Amino acid sequence: MTHSRKSHGELADLLADARRRTLLLAGDLSGSQWLGPKLDIVNPPLWEIGHLAWFQELWCLRGGDFNAPAILPGADLLYDSARVAHDTRWSLPLPELDGTLSYMRSVLERVRERLDAEPENDRLAYFAELAVYHEDMHGEAFAYTRQTLGYRKPATAGQSRNAMGPLPGDATVPGGKFLLGARPDDGFVFDNEKWAHPVILRSFRIARAPVTNAEYLAFVEDGGYRRLEFWDQDGQAWLKKERPVAPVYWIKNGVNWMMRMFDEIAPLPLDAPVSHVNWFEANAFCHWTGRRLPTEAEWEAAASLADETKRRYPWGDQSPTRRHAHLDGGNWQCADVAAYPEGDSSAGCRQMLGNVWEWTADAFLPYPGFVRDPYKEYSEPWFGDQKVLRGGCYATRSRLLRNTWRNFYTPDRRDVFAGFRTCALDDE
């Protein structure tokens, strides 16, 4: 467990900000949308907002003690995601919306009161910061849900779309010893980032930008989804089961391709990164092009190395702004891959934070000497059968990210705002 660097006053403000964001992302839902259809890849929004309050209460008010009384009687049986099976969440005796919102307000008020009353409580500060980031992650999940179910895009203010065109070419990253992972002086980090450890990298060439829709369209029109030689064994099994012909939200309209974004259908933005592709699709495209996915060590090196130092963000140590990266919602659609040149890494890679998550070649595994944090369900149960993604997407809160941050999903997931960039083969 790492200590928070933030004051209790700052944490109280962050908790309030995270809650405002949650209500902005979900608060305009109505009627049946609060439960929505029963799908494997989404939660009922009514359950999910109650879960946020429960998580905050469990860790900030009950200290993780399931024997301590809950504000809402029986809350553990309703909202504990580790013990409440996903497919039962639509049939639970959940409080009505007004009752759920009241529970959320009550928990937040009590947490902020406790932060004010216990300014030297480092353990409370850690769990308050954890609760902020947990709510931020669920906010991103609300965006996935809205896209999956075809709801309108969130009603948040954002800038106009960045139409900047493509960014072809590779950047060269020198080989040598690289420290993969976070350092103890990095502040709050998650257990799966701990700790920095040496890996040996060969010099490699990595694309300056993620694969665009135009590039991926060439794969689609060359019959890439029918040519099994480009797909590994698990990918072939997925193809046989799902029978896709293109990325999940692409729609063929005569000779033209369109794309559904939330509840709107528009022409495919050719210079934006391909999004909503799973690991199997990314890997098959790489085989088709004669390239490969980067390892997560290569990805982190391309994002962070600057001479012999390691940066917190691709551009340096300054926190992300709208000049650096497409984060925090923006206009709820991907920017072109050439946008945000001020966010380039020292190697010359663009958009390594924001726009789309990027699949890497690696399975999600613990770093050497892994020790789980108090929230044991965050990383440990998922080691082995998930693939690592890096970099965040346009729906990710900027305060979550740094070059060492690891995301993870099963390789068949297409609901995530995920794309990828490629590396040249080692013998090129």
* Same domain for 304 and 224: yes
Quick one: 172 and 128 in the same domain?
Answer: no
If you write DSSP's letter for every residue of 329-394 in order, what string do you get?
Answer: STTSSPPPTT--GGG--TTS---SSSSSEEEEEEE--PPTT----SSTTSSGGGSSSSEEEES--T
428 pLDDT higher than 60: no
pLDDT interval class at 3 (50, 70, 90): confident
145 and 170, same domain (yes or no): no
Which residues lie below 8 Å from residue 166, measured CB to CB, with a gap of 6+? Answer: 209, 212, 214, 271, 336, 337, 338
Report the CATH number that the domain containing residue 12 is assigned in CATH.
Answer: 1.20.120.450
Region 274-289: what's the mean pLDDT? 98
Q: pLDDT of 36-56, one tens digit each?
A: 999 999 999 999 999 999 999
C-alpha distances out from residue 112 to 118, 253, 377, Å: 10, 53, 25
| Percent above pLDDT 90 for the chain | 94
Average pLDDT over residues 362-367: 98
Of the pLDDT bands very low, low, confident and very high (cuts 50, 70, 90), residue 7 is very high
CATH number at residue 244: 3.90.1580.10
Claim to verify: residue 311 and residue 292 sit in the same structural domain = yes
Tell me, yes or no, whether 270 lies in a domain.
yes
State how far Cα 344 lies from the chain centre.
Answer: 20
Judge whether residue 117 has pLDDT over 70: yes
Residue 159 pLDDT? 58
Q: Are residues 380 and 271 in the same domain?
A: yes
- pLDDT for position 4: 78
pLDDT score, position 330: 80
Give the pLDDT score at 2.
73
pLDDT given at position 113:
98
Residue numbers of the domain that contains 118? 8-149
Listed residues 149, 174, 205: the one ending a domain? 149
Residue 118 domain flag: yes
Closest CA to 45 of 57, 54, 33: 33
Assigned domain for 390 exists: yes
Average pLDDT on 273-282 reads 98
| Residues 302 and 236: beta-carbon distance below 8 Å | no
| Domain-located, residue 3 | no
Domain boundary among 149, 173, 189: 149
In a domain, 154, yes or no: no
The Cβ-side half-sphere exposure at 164, using a 13 Å CA radius, reads 17
Q: Is residue 165 part of a domain?
A: yes
- CA 64 to chain CA centroid, nearest Å: 25
Domain membership flag for residue 1: no
Domain boundary among 149, 178, 195: 149
Q: In this structure, are 92 and 166 located in the same domain?
A: no
Instruction: For residues 370 and 285, state if they share a domain.
Output: yes
pLDDT at 331: 85
Nearest to 279 by CA among 353, 195, 388: 388
- The Cβ of residue 209 has, within 10 Å, a number of other Cβ atoms equal to 24
Average pLDDT over residues 114-128: 96
8 A C-beta contact, residue 419 and residue 210: yes
Is a pLDDT exceeding 60 seen at residue 419? yes
Q: What is the pLDDT of residue 208?
A: 98
Do 346 and 421 fall into the same domain? yes
How far the first Cα of the chain sits from its last, in Å, is 43
Same domain? For 420 and 274 the reply is yes
Together in a domain, 207 and 301:
yes
Q: Round to whole Å and give the CA distance between 62 and 67.
A: 9
364: in domain? yes
Count other C-beta atoms under 10 Å from residue 32's C-beta: 8
Express as a percent the part of the chain with pLDDT over 70. 98
pLDDT digits (tens, 9 = 90+) for 212-254: 999 999 999 999 999 999 999 999 999 999 999 999 999 999 9
61 and 103, same structural domain?
A: yes
The C-alpha angle with vertex 165 and arms to 346 and 350, in degrees rounded to 5, equals: 15
Radius of gyration of the chain (CA): 21
Task: Give the mean pLDDT of the chain.
Answer: 95
For 75-89, what is the mean pLDDT? 96
The tally of domains found in the chain comes to 2
Judge if 424 and 368 occupy the same domain: yes
